[in-house]
Amino acid sequence: MNLAAMQGLLPLLVLGLGAAVLMLQISIRRQLGWSYAITVATLLLGAAAMEPAMQVAPLQVTPLLRVDNLGLFFGSLFCLSGAVTAVISRDYLRSREGENEEYFLLLLLSTLGAVILAYSTHVAALLLGLELLSVALYALIAYPERGTLPLEAAIKYLVLSGAASATLLFGFALIYAALGSLEYAEIAVQISAGRAATSPALILMGAAMVFAGLGFKLSVVPFHMWTPDVYEGAPAPISGFLAGVSKGAVFIAVLRWFLESGFFQYSSLLAGITLLSIASILVGNLLALLQTNVKRILAYSSIAHLGYLLIVLVAAGVSPEPGLAVEAGGYYVVAYVITTLAAFSLLGLISRQSGDREYDQLSDLAGLFWKQPGLAALFTVALLSLAGIPLTAGFIGKFYLISAGVDAALWGLLAALVIGSAIGIFYYLRIIYTMTTVGEQANPGTTADMLVGSRLVVYLLIFAMLYLGIVPEPLMGYLRTIL
Amino acid sequence: MPGLQVPLEHVLMMAAALFIAGLVGLMVRRNIIFILMSLEVMLNASALAFVAAGAHWGQADGQIIFMLILTVAAAEVSVGLGLVLLLQRRFKTLDMDNANRLRD
């Protein structure tokens, strides 16, 4: 491995080194403040290491990883999101007794997995990134000792995510049996060389299984059953990490696999994805109407959002020039990750862990506008962005998706998107409405005793959301140059 | 001796049968230990398919992926067993039906 390759892998090296340093620090002397500082510093350095890495991009480092602008951009997005989660968790964990240092170690490892996913161009790298991401998350979900819900959520996630990994791997094994390659680019070469013609059934079945496995991680209908349960049981900052970073990273990995290995030429696969997308949009939005727990509402809303994102895959496959679709997907992922992180972070701060449950029922939020106008106003902005109201990042993201869909003439999907968004506005507004009603529920978290770090982070997230909604051109232009 | 000594289809069918057995076990078993075992069977079924395909193409890649799967499965199950201990301590049972407070 030469120097250029090392430079390209700098973000991964920084994160790995940070994890090793953190492990040493914990084993020498337990000190939460130090662990927290090392984690945040490592994640910020990891994001900053994108700059030197970009100078050597694009560069293929071993068949496993490719350093290119797409991977670097989203890698740094995931690093920053990990840092946000760490800051919010610090506030969230304040009331928790016992040893909390490993929490940050697990968070760091999980983020490393997400960054590897953004780099991966080979089945082995995909497997390693995916498992690093999820195995650390199992432990993070079960971390709080309050009640039994986190434990139950962690076991559910472990069993289903393990089954999803096995399905994914079986699919790749079938593709490997048919084509003799594990590298995305090589798979594309074999398909276009006509080797696929000897066993088309094997390849289609393999691709369907891979997609089913990844669909689990993306929680698209009909593989969504675990999502609301796990999000409800997990600590709020981790639910945000799961919904934002974990799904975002898997989506980027799917996008890469799909585009680079040339699977979009199978029209039956595209038809399947279209069905999954429509089902996710409708089921996610309709079931969100029935929920009374805010975390479950956000979980169903994330299912619907992933349904919207799948439009990108279909559009990239159908239209002769996939550039616009990929660009729309990139923008939507950025907007979605920021918005979801903001929503869950604020919910975590509002419902700071106290006693044996979080204050995450809809009725717990009643009267929030009168008691803590600051938090309520910020939460409102996050919800409006999720709903896709103009002047927020969510609106521009949706607008971009629609233009990509129109470009590829996907009228059925666009109809589902419009209907889904209309239903969505209703349940987001219901949360906002509840916050304005007068209620007498006790609510312990107040803006006054928020740590400086979490206050700063929340303001930054809201600012980013509004900035991307009002002045989207810089990011659009940037994405156009790198994709 | 290079290459696969039996037809690739037979091994793939065998792997598929193992995979389905694991999947069925995952769905019908209620005891968490058996659920984790079924998960292992599923992961190993895909590992078998990789080894067979690797031998078919005369490449080492299949076996390398097999080793990666082995490692990953070990990591997954070790975290799983940690959770099993917690489950036993909190619920005094290993039956997953008792852990069903999270639902619509």
Query: Which tens digit of pLDDT belongs to each residue from A159-176?
Result: 999 999 999 999 999 999
Whether residue B79 and residue A151 make contact (CB cut-off 8 A), yes or no, is no
Say how many residues make up chain B: 104
Give A273's pLDDT tier (boundaries 50, 70, 90).
very high
Query: Which tens digit of pLDDT belongs to each residue from A318-362?
Result: 887 888 899 999 999 999 999 999 999 999 888 764 555 677 888
pLDDT of residue B92: 86
Rounded mean pLDDT of A396-408?
Answer: 93
- Sign of the four-CA dihedral A318, A320, A322, A325: negative
pLDDT of residue A353: 47
CA gap A304, A309 in Å, rounded: 9
φ/ψ of A402, rounded to 5, equals -65, -40
CA gap A253, A248 in Å, rounded: 9
Rounded mean pLDDT of A260-267?
Answer: 84
The percent of residues above 90 in pLDDT, for chain A, comes to 71
CA nearest to B8, candidates A198, A164, A183, A207? A198
Return the residue of A nearest to B12 by Cα.
A174
Taking one residue from A and the other from B, the number of pairs with CB-CB distance under 8 angstroms is 128
Return the residue of B nearest to A157 by Cα.
B80
Contact A55, A47 (CB under 8 A): no
Rounded mean pLDDT of A238-247?
Answer: 96
Contact A195, A261 (CB under 8 A): no
CB-closest option in A170, A230, A232 to B45? A170
**Mean pLDDT score across all residues of chain B:** 91
Confidence check: pLDDT of A183 > 60 = yes
Residues in chain A closer than 8 A to B72 (CB atoms):
127-128, 131, 135, 165
CA gap B21, A149 in Å, rounded: 30
End-to-end CA distance of chain A: 26
Residues in chain A closer than 8 A to B75 (CB atoms):
131, 135
Q: Which residues are CB-neighbours of A292 under 8 A, at least 6 positions away?
A: A361, A362, A363
A319: left (phi over 0), alpha (psi -120 to 50) or beta: beta
Side chain identity at residue A91, one-letter code: D
- What DSSP element (H or E) covers A88? helix A69-92
Distance from CA of B1 to the nearest CA of A (A): 19
Distances (CA, A) of A347 to A144, A237, A269, A359, A385: 16, 8, 38, 9, 15
pLDDT of residue A355: 53
CA gap B87, A113 in Å, rounded: 27
User: CB-based contact (8 Å) between A208 and chain B?
Assistant: no
* DSSP letter (8 states) at residue B5: S
Whether residue B43 and residue A127 make contact (CB cut-off 8 A), yes or no, is no
Confidence check: pLDDT of A439 > 80 = no
Whether residue A170 and residue B49 make contact (CB cut-off 8 A), yes or no, is yes
Q: What is the ipTM of this complex?
A: 0.96
Distances (CA, A) of A473 to A50, A331, A469, A483, B77: 22, 11, 10, 15, 47
DSSP A233-297: HS-HHHHHHIIIIIHHHHHHHHHHHHHHTTGGG-HHHHHHHHHHHHHHHHHHHHHHHT--BHHHH
**Mean pLDDT score across all residues of chain A:** 91
Return the residue of A nearest to B102 by Cα.
A229
CA nearest to A82, candidates A131, A133, A120, A10? A133
Distances (CA, A) of A276 to A219, A220, A436, B81: 10, 7, 36, 34
Rounded mean pLDDT of A181-196?
Answer: 87
According to DSSP, the β-strands at A65-67 and A59-61 are: antiparallel
Distance of alpha carbon B94 from the chain centroid: 20
CA gap A400, A411 in Å, rounded: 15
pLDDT of residue A276: 95
CB-closest option in A131, A173, A228 to B53? A173
Q: What is the Cα Rg of chain A in Å? A: 21
Give A441's pLDDT tier (boundaries 50, 70, 90).
low
Distances (CA, A) of A172 to A55, A176, A205, B51: 33, 6, 10, 12
Return the residue of B nearest to A292 by Cα.
B104
- What DSSP element (H or E) covers A331? helix A323-350
Q: Which of A141, A148, A303, A361 to mutate to test the interface with B (most CBs of B within 10 A)?
A: A148
Rounded mean pLDDT of B33-50?
Answer: 96
Side chain identity at residue A439, one-letter code: G
Confidence check: pLDDT of A242 > 80 = yes
- For residue A40, count other CB atoms closer than 10 A to its CB: 20
User: CB-based contact (8 Å) between B64 and chain A?
Assistant: yes
CA nearest to A298, candidates A232, A356, A351? A232
CA gap B53, A44 in Å, rounded: 42
Query: Which tens digit of pLDDT belongs to each residue from B43-86?
Result: 999 999 999 999 999 999 999 999 999 999 999 999 999 999 99
φ/ψ of A439, rounded to 5, equals -130, 165
Contact B41, B21 (CB under 8 A): yes
User: CB-based contact (8 Å) between B8 and chain A?
Assistant: yes
Whether residue A148 and residue B90 make contact (CB cut-off 8 A), yes or no, is yes
pLDDT of residue A148: 83
Rounded mean pLDDT of A353-378?
Answer: 79
- Most confident option among A97-106, A301-310, B95-104: A301-310
Distance from CA of A287 to the nearest CA of B (A): 10
Whether residue B76 and residue A162 make contact (CB cut-off 8 A), yes or no, is yes
Lowest mean pLDDT segment, chosen from A122-131, A252-261, A281-290, B45-54: A252-261
Side chain identity at residue A237, one-letter code: P
Side chain identity at residue B54, one-letter code: G
Whether residue B52 and residue A177 make contact (CB cut-off 8 A), yes or no, is yes
Residue bearing the bigger pLDDT, A28 or A322: A28
User: CB-based contact (8 Å) between B66 and chain A?
Assistant: no
